């Protein structure tokens, strides 16, 4: 398993290069928007990847609450972190795309705004993990993940309805997509998925090593204590005196 990692890393790098080549040079130029539309090949796959990762986080959180499996908790943490990274990409590429095309940085576009709220929820998730003690963080964060998942449909519908009352431009374009563009989109998504998997994998390994290190340290500190003091405990009265009576 360990040897697979560098091979996979190289593969991913190659895929990313190929995908970029496809997106920037091979894909046909969009009729109305021109070359700026190519950002679509980064915006959309990032969104799909982020959503997938947050879904993984939800499942891992539920598994943790039910089974109390520390591996599930590690997976939840990792998928949330990488998910926020991809979500940030979505939020940055959205306005970059919108500005030259429609002349405004932000609209109340349903998908983009829902993604913003999703990003906010998961940043608060990461902050909760950072601000709580290591013993409690897993359960609390898992609960928050469930709340976030319940919230997202409500977020989407509320913004969607709000938009029907206040119509504004749609980022991301509606209508059908040229099959050649679809192909490039999927290639990019594959590359992004591999990249996400790579990041999760390495982060997961890091986290597992950190936890194992903690356990080893805990065990070691106790063994060290033991060596010096076992002799004295044999006589309770001595122990009594040492407790400061």
The site for another protein, by CB under 8 A, has a size of 53
C-alpha–C-alpha distance, residues 106 and 237, integer Å: 75
Is 245 near another protein (CB under 8 A)?
yes
* Separation between Cα atoms, residue 72 and residue 138, nearest integer Å: 9
CB of 205 to another protein, least distance (A): 19
- Does 120 participate in binding another protein (rule CB under 8 A)? yes
Q: Give the burial class of 90: count Cβ atoms within 10 A of its Cβ; 0-12 exposed, 13-18 middle, 19 or more buried.
A: buried
- Minimum CB distance to another protein, residue 174 (Å): 23
For another protein, give the closer residue by CB, 39 or 144.
Answer: 144
Interacting span for another protein (CB under 8 A) from 25-33, 83-91, 152-160, 183-191: 152-160
Q: In whole angstroms, give the CA distance from residue 148 to residue 190.
A: 27
Member of 10, 14, 146, 186 binding another protein (CB under 8 A): 146
CB of 218 to another protein, least distance (A): 4
φ, ψ (nearest 5 deg) of residue 75: -65, -40
DSSP H/E element including 173: none
Query: Among 56, 123, 45, which Cα is nearest to 84's?
Result: 123
User: Cβ of residue 68: shortest distance to another protein, in angstroms?
Assistant: 8
What does the DSSP 8-state code read for residue 29?
P
Residue 168 interacts with another protein (CB under 8 A): yes or no: no
In order of 20, 43, 107, 174, 239, the CA distances from 168 in angstroms are 31, 19, 6, 13, 77
From the list 17, 24, 154, 186, which residue makes contact with another protein (rule: CB under 8 A)?
154
Range 205-234, binding another protein (CB under 8 A): 214-215, 217-219, 221-222, 225-226, 229-230, 233
The answer to the question of residue 24 lying near another protein (CB under 8 A) is no
Residue with Cβ nearer another protein (104 or 219)? 219
Q: Which distant-in-sequence residues (6+ apart) come within 8 Å of 64 by Cβ?
A: 72, 73, 76, 138, 139, 142
Report the distance separating Cα 129 and Cα 139, nearest Å: 10
Among 77, 84, 87, 144, indicate the residue that binds another protein (CB under 8 A): 144
Q: How far apart are CA 48 and CA 55, in angstroms?
A: 11
Interface with another protein includes 121 (CB under 8 A)? yes
Residue 96: CB atoms within 10 A of its CB come to 15
> Which tokens hold the place of 187?
């290639």
Cβ closest to another protein, residue 14 vs residue 216: 216
Applying CB under 8 A, the residues found at the interface with another protein are 65, 117, 120-121, 123-124, 127-128, 131-136, 139-140, 142-144, 146-148, 150-151, 154-155, 157-159, 161-162, 165, 214-215, 217-219, 221-222, 225-226, 229-230, 233, 235-237, 239-240, 242-245
């Amino acid at each position: 398993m360990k040897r697979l990692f560098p091979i996979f890393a190289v593969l991913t790098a190659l895929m990313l290069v190929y995908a970029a080549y496809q997106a920037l040079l091979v894909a046909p130029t969009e009729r109305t928007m021109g070359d700026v539309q190519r950002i679509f090949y980064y915006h959309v796959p990032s969104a799909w990847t982020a959503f997938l990762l947050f879904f993984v986080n939800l499942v891992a959180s539920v598994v943790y609450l039910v089974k109390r499996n520390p591996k599930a908790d590690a997976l939840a943490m990792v998928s949330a972190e990488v998910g926020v990274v991809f979500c940030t990409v979505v939020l940055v590429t959205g306005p970059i795309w919108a500005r030259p095309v429609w002349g405004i940085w932000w609209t109340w576009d349903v998908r983009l705004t829902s993604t913003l709220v999703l990003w906010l929820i998961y940043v608060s998730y990461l902050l909760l993990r950072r601000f709580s003690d290591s013993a409690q963080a897993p359960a609390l964060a898992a609960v928050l993940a469930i709340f976030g998942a319940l919230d997202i449909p409500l977020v989407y519908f509320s913004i969607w309805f709000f938009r029907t009352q206040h119509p504004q431009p749609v980022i991301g374009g509606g209508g059908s997509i040229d099959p050649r563009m679809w192909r490039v989109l999927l290639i990019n998504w594959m590359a992004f998925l591999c990249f996400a998997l790579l990041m999760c994998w390495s982060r997961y390994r890091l986290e597992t090593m950190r936890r194992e290190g903690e356990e080893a340290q805990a065990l070691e500190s106790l063994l060290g204590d033991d060596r010096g003091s076992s002799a004295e405990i044999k006589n309770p009265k001595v122990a009594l005196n040492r407790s400061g009576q």
